[in-house]
Structure 1
Amino acid sequence: MKRRIAFATCVQLGLSCIEEIYRIGGNLDLLITLKDEKAKKKSGRIYLDDIAIQHGAPLLKIDNINDPDVLTALIEHKIDWLFIIGWSQIAKKEVLETPTYGCIGMHPTLLPVGRGRASIPWAIIKGLKETGVTMFKLDEGVDTGDIIGQGVITLDGNTTATELYRKVDEMHITLISRYWNDIVNNNITPTKQDEYKATEWPGRKPEDGEILNSMSMEEADRLVRAVTRPYPGAFYKEEGKTLRIWSAKVEENYYNKNSIKLSDGYLISLDYEIE
Structure 2
Amino acid sequence: MKKRIAFATCVQLGLSCIEEIYRIGGELDLLITLNDEKSKNKSGRIYLDEIAEREDAYLLKINNINDSEVIKALKNHKIDWLFIIGWSQIAKKELLDTPNKGCIGMHPTLLPIGRGRAAIPWAIIKGLDRTGVSMFKLDEGVDTGDIIGQGVIEINDTITATELYKKVDDMHIELISKYWEDIVNEKIELSKQDDSNATEWPGRKPEDGELLSSHTMDEADKLVRAVTHPYPGAFYKKPDEVYRIWSATVDKNQGEIKLSDGYLTPVDYEIEG
TM norm structure 2: 0.99
Q: 1:263 aligns with which of 260, 264, 269?
A: 260
Aligned residue in 1 for 2:158:
158
Partner amino acid, structure 2, of 1:23: R
Determine helix, strand or coil for the equivalent of 2:142: coil
Give the CA deviation at 1:238: 1.0
Counterpart position of 1:49: 49
Runs of at least 5 residues in structure 2 that lack an aligned partner in the other structure: none
Please report how far the alpha carbon of residue 197 of structure 1 lies from its aligned counterpart in structure 2 after TM superposition.
0.4
2:261 partner SS: coil
1:87-134 superposed Cα distances (whole Å, 9 cap, x missing partner): 000010010011011000000000000000000000000000000000
Matched, 1:200 2:200: yes
Which residue identity is paired with 1:194? D
Kindly state the Cα deviation for residue 246 of structure 1 after the two structures are TM-superposed. 0.3
CA distance in 2, matches of 1:149, 1:162: 24
Counterpart in 1 of 2:109? 109
Cα deviation per residue 1:30-65 (whole Å; 9 max; x = unaligned)?
Answer: 000011110000001011011001011001011100
Secondary structure in 1 matching 2:74 = helix
Equivalent-residue separation in structure 2 for 1:142 and 1:240 (angstroms): 42
Alignment of 1:88-237 (within 5 A): 88-237=88-237
Deviations 1:234-270 (A, max 9, x none): 0000122100100001100123xxx110011001111
- The one-letter code of the counterpart of 1:271 is D
State the distance in 2 between where 1:3 and 1:50 align. Answer: 24
The one-letter amino acid paired with 2:270 is E
Distance 1:245 1:60 in 2: 37
Aligned partner letter, 2:33 = T
CA distances 1:193-245 after superposition (whole Å, capped 9, x unpaired): 00010000000000000000011000000000000000000000012210010
Shift of 1:151: 0.4
Paired with 1:23 and 1:260, the residues of 2 have a C-alpha distance of: 48
Separation (CA, whole Å) in 2 of partners of 1:85 and 1:59: 16
Deviation per residue, 1:8-47 (Å, 9 max, x gap):
0000000000000000000000000011110000001011
Other structure's SS at 1:135 match: strand
Letter in 2 for 1:95: L
Q: Summarize the alignment of residues 21-40 of structure 1 with structure 2, pairs less than 5 Å apart.
A: 21-40=21-40
Shift, 1:83, TM fit: 0.1
Aligned partner of 1:172: which letter? H
* Alignment TM-score, normalising by the size of structure 1: 0.98
* Structure 2 counterpart of 1:73: 73
Q: Give the counterpart letter for 1:226 in structure 2.
A: A
Take 1:238 and 1:67, find their aligned partners in 2: how far apart are those partners? 45
Q: How does 1:241-252 map to 2 (within 5 A)?
A: 241-252=241-252
Amino acid across the alignment from 2:99: P
Q: Percent identity?
A: 75
1:5 to 2:5 alignment: yes
CA–CA distance in structure 2, aligned partners of residues 88 and 129 of structure 1: 26
- Distance of 2:154 and 2:16 partners within structure 1: 21
Residue 240 of structure 2 corresponds to which residue in structure 1?
A: 240
Residue 270 of structure 2 corresponds to residue 273 of structure 1:
yes
Residue aligned with 2:6, SS: strand
Residue 132 of structure 1 aligns with an amino acid whose one-letter code is G
CA RMSD of aligned residues (A): 0.5
Q: Which amino acid aligns with 1:273?
A: E
| Structure 1: segments with no counterpart, 5+ residues | none
C-alpha distance in 2 between matches for 1:249 and 1:37: 37
SS in 2 for 1:41: coil
Distance in 2 between residues matched to 1:129 and 1:174, nearest whole Å: 21
Q: 1:241 & 1:37 partners in 2: Cα distance?
A: 30
